[in-house]
Structure 1
Amino acid sequence: MQNRTSIIFGADFAVMNGIIAKFAKRFIAGMTNPLFYAKIILFGEYGMIEDSQGLVVPYSFYKGTLKFSENHSEFEAKSNGHLRKYADFLQELKLPEDFTLDVQRFKDDIDAGLFFDSNIPQGYGVGSSGALVAAIFEKYSLTRHDPENISKENLKNLKAVFGEMESYFHGKSSGMDPLICYMNLPILIENRENLDRVSIPDGEEGKGAIFLIDSGMTGETGPMIQIFFEKMKTEGFRKTLKEEFIRYNNACIDAFLKKDMNPFFRNLKKLSHWAYEHFRPMIPESIFNIWKKGLDSNAYYLKLCGSGGGGYILGFTKDYEKAEKMLEGFQKEVIYRF
């Protein structure tokens, strides 16, 4: 018969073994869970709804990943609670067979302390929900989808699936944000039906730059999209969107991908001026004056970054040092040099 000490030691050893196994599982999961980066719509905001081209790129400054936590901080507990509600939504979602999710495993992991560890700001137009959707799909999809080898047709199907998954956050989603976050590659949207991976010119340490300006307030996608659809009921707005905005937008994309900067900035000014005239409700109040200042001085041009209403605004300039001085007082982040 074993003495009492050996029984206690055996029990303690078993408990310790369980704790070690649990922490090992969490550690391995943390090591293997990939990072999902934010995204930036360089061109195509709103226009893509009406079949314009779009150019969307990943932005590695902001990122998120799924992790486990034994002792929830307030942030981790809140994230865990959001995931729990989202899992209920996903359980009711009917996805195509090749894109089915293991929602029960997702729920089990939530019970075990899963949360989304992210520094991507919400309401800033850089894809906070897109990164989350991409992370969940990558971890819980029953079929493996290799971003490097995915076909053009499956790319389109994946975008549609991501649209269904992200609709929980915005009411309606194109699926573009999660697709960019998942692929971690620039994507050119040619029209509603066609999209493909694309190479953007290598950045270099020149005087020019594409940069973000913090408007100092968050924006909500839903209300901004509602304003857009209300404007679309007006024939004059529909006409100018199709005949001017889309033309300037597509010309900017074409020139940027060719790194042909003279026609790029020529069309960019037209695009910025059009947005200043027709997207007023989407431009944060704090940005009105500097938007006009850029147009008047030709020192830089601004455009929406996503749906607008707040968050980040995109800036483009041939001389960043000059633009930076003119935009003193605003928080800025350079995302591309040329």
Structure 2
Amino acid sequence: MKGPLFYAKILLFGEYGIIKDSKGLAIPYNSYNGAFKKADVLEGKALKSNGYLLAYYNYLKSLKTDLVQFDLAQLEQDITNGMYFDSSIPQGYGVGSSGAIVAAIYEKYAEDKITVLENLTKDKLLRLKAIFGLMESYFHGTSSGLDPLNSYLSLPILIQSKDNVESVGIPYQQNGKGAVFLLDSKMIGETEPMVNIFMEKMKNEGFRKMLSDEFVAHTDACVDNFLRGDAKSLFGNVKKLSKVVLDNFKPMIPSKFHALWKKGIDSNDYYLKLCGSGGGGYILGFAPDFEKAKASLTGHDLELVYRF
């Protein structure tokens, strides 16, 4: 038994902002993926994954919803027969490890599912997003459903607002100097505590004003710049976004990266932003000149995502 591959995702723009109706842009990241496999003898990671799937099966069994129904009998039987999710997607790194599992479960066990081959109208995309949000809330407490949607469709997803989601084309990669990259913090991040900190901050009127006046405005501009292929304007707006995040989202940035974050803004060698909810995992970087950024970030592990 080997199921289809489900890929990692990178939320280029929109972390936290999409909670308050900013734009968002997520792209598949094909360097990491996961698929269902089966083993007669379970051990190590396979055994642990099988146990996780059993716990998740119990969650799905307890769900009271009209949005989606699953073939739970088949799921239970497959888990009993040694099914596990074989994944290279790092957990707690902000690249959609739980999203891939959710997408795989939906694809294999949902009844009357919306398939990737049909005409994906706005209503169908919103329905899928709602289903995936419900399914993924098991892992994070709350979920927008965006990670599983991206993994399921394996297409770039543009969030215009909470009620307006569409698949989009992104500009072809160039062989220029500029790049988007991932910086490995070497720390595991947990989504739920970070979202709780954000929700607590949202009780402050000044924070809410900053979010709408600065954070959402810069995020929306970055999305527009990226989709138009306007790299020059993009780097200017990412720099502004990076500064706003450093000033207002410090708990989401591991403390040992605060100085490195500021160094990028001051030197213009690179600009860092959160990748997902933060707290660890990957940090997303944008560099006008990737070779200069690599030199400036010597000693850190970088992964190239996209070239301008």
TM class by smaller structure: over 0.9
Moved over 6 A (4+): none
Give the alignment of 1:72-221 within 5 angstroms: 72-96=42-66, 99-149=68-118, 150-221=120-191
- Preserved CA contact (<8 Å) 1:211 1:336: yes
TM-aligned CA deviation for residue 286 of structure 1: 2.6
Aligned match of 1:260: 230
* Secondary structure of the structure 1 residue equivalent to 2:161: coil
SS at match of 2:79: helix
Q: Does 1:225 align with 2:168?
A: no
Deviations 1:158-202 (A, max 9, x none): 110111111111111111111111010000000011100011101
Retained in 2: the 8 A contact 1:231–1:237? Answer: yes
Separation in 2 of the partners of 1:73 and 1:247? 49
Displacement after TM superposition at 1:307 (Å): 0.2
> 2-side partners of 1:221 and 1:239: how far apart?
24
- Secondary structure of 1:105's match? helix
Structure 1 contact 95–161 (Cα < 8 Å) conserved: no
TM-score when scaled to structure 2?
Answer: 0.98
How far apart, in 1, do the equivalents of 2:117 and 2:178 lie?
31
Task: Quote the offset at 1:145 in angstroms.
Answer: 2.2
Aligned residues between the structures:
307
**Cα distance per residue 1:123-173 (max 9 Å; x no partner):** 100011000000011001122422142222011011101111111111111
Q: Contact 1:215/1:286 (CA < 8 Å) preserved in 2?
A: no
1:330 aligned to 2:300? Answer: yes
CA offsets per residue over residues 20-40 of structure 1, 9 Å max, x none?
xxxxxxxxx32xx10000011
Asked if 1 retains the 8 angstrom alpha-carbon contact of 2:114 and 2:124, the reply is no
Given residue 201 of structure 1, which amino acid in structure 2 is its aligned partner? P
AA aligned to 2:268 is N
Q: Paired residue for 2:267?
A: 297
Sequence identity of aligned pairs in percent? 54
Q: Judge conservation of contact 2:102–2:136 (CA < 8 Å) in 1.
A: yes
1:328 counterpart SS class:
coil
Over the aligned positions, Cα root-mean-square deviation in angstroms equals 1.0
2:29 partner SS: strand
Q: Is the 8 A contact 1:164 1:173 kept in 2?
A: yes
